[in-house]
Amino acid sequence: MIALADRFGRVATDLRVSLTDRCNLRCTYCMPAEGLAWMPQPDQLTDAEVVRLIRIAVERLGITEVRFTGGEPLIRRGLVGIVAEVARLDPRPRMSVTTNGIGLDRMAVPLRDAGLDRVNVSLDTLDPARFATLTRRDRHADVLRGLSAAVTAGLTPVKINTVLMRDVNDDEAPALLRFALEHGYQLRFIEQMPLDAQHQWDRHTMVTADEILAALKPFDLRPDVVSRGTAPAETWLVPGHVDAAGEPARVGVIGSVTRPFCGDCDRTRLTADGQVRNCLFATEESDLRKLLRDGAPDTEIAEAWRVAMAGKRAGHGIDDPAFLQPARPMSAIGG
């Protein structure tokens, strides 16, 4: 087996697979109201191509975790079948999905039965009207139903991903944590990153990790005794609370901008059109789709993937004056 190692000693074991660049929301910090020019269908990997690349990653490159992302992965018609095929691999990777939660009430059980282990659900507000403003869609109740269905189906721990934006929803941090604690969800606050399609991100208006933690002071958070390892979130214990599994309740903060964790990154990314990205903020990609469609053997594809990861930079470089935001927005990269 070949390890996906880079020249700084990091080894990628976590694969993020984007299944589509399409989404059924239009979040203001992600894309314009009219949406984007979506990827042409012929450019998108087929279900069989997705499964083959994941198989190569697991069997030949040491991948142990697979996260399906988008766009919105639940709108990929073949999602349940892809999960079922990956569940048959030996060794079997742990699988999760990052979703906006719309449709999860219908899909939670089929996904669990196919072999999915857990879900992350994006939710930035508890206010339905504010949700409609943020996402340009009136689907707040659908997301809440999806969260509940995930717990009922056993796709736990159910994690909520929240992006706080100054003067938009930054007043909701305490309420969101109370909501998560009441329902046994694990909440993760994420600093807003320069990955919007409009290229309007402004560091000075971003809500920082320090500001998030200051807003949570009433909860008397305690440092987590469990090491974060390669996980992106710094976590704190919430005294007096447990999660749905009976474990001590935790809240996390992913400070991608102000508290970068690039030195411990263990992720490799595959876009919906078969490009390998060795960093979320990479400006270059490596084309595996062409190799697939030209009939390359697994060994050649695995070697191309290894070479792509070997060139990974030491960090994302957001603080570098020469930093360039990726041409692809988040919806076309996958979270």
Domain for residue 145, yes or no? yes
Domain for residue 148, yes or no? yes
φ/ψ of 262, rounded to 5, equals -55, -35
Q: 91: domain range?
A: 14-332
Total number of domains constituting the chain: 1
CATH of the domain at 323: 3.20.20.70
CB within 8 A of 311, min separation 6: which ones?
Answer: 6, 7, 278
Domain for residue 81, yes or no? yes
d(CA 85, CA 87): 5
d(CA 220, CA 241): 12
Walk along the chain (335 residues) and give the pLDDT tens digit of each residue: 789 999 999 999 999 999 998 888 888 777 777 776 678 899 999 999 999 999 999 999 999 999 999 889 999 999 999 999 999 999 999 999 999 999 999 999 999 999 999 999 999 999 999 999 999 999 999 999 999 999 999 999 999 999 998 989 999 999 999 999 999 999 999 988 655 445 555 667 789 999 999 999 999 999 998 887 778 889 999 999 988 778 889 999 998 888 877 888 999 999 999 999 998 777 788 999 999 999 999 999 999 999 999 989 887 656 555 555 666 666 666 66
Annotated binding site for S-adenosyl-L-methionine: 29, 71, 122, 193
Annotated binding site for [4Fe-4S] cluster: 23, 27, 30, 262, 265, 279
* Bridge-based pairing state of the strands 286-287 and 275-277: antiparallel
Annotated binding site for GTP: 16, 67, 98, 159, 267-269
Domain for residue 9, yes or no? no
Domain for residue 6, yes or no? no
* Residue in this structure with the two tokens 């742990």, named with its chain if needed: 94
* Bridge-based pairing state of the strands 11-12 and 4-5: antiparallel
Domain for residue 5, yes or no? no
Domain for residue 74, yes or no? yes
Helix axes 79-87, 47-61, angle to 10 degrees: 30
Annotated binding site: 16, 23, 27, 29-30, 67, 71, 98, 122, 159, 193, 262, 265, 267-269, 279
Q: What is the pTM of this model?
A: 0.91
Please report which helix (H) or strand (E) contains residue 163, including its range: strand 159-163
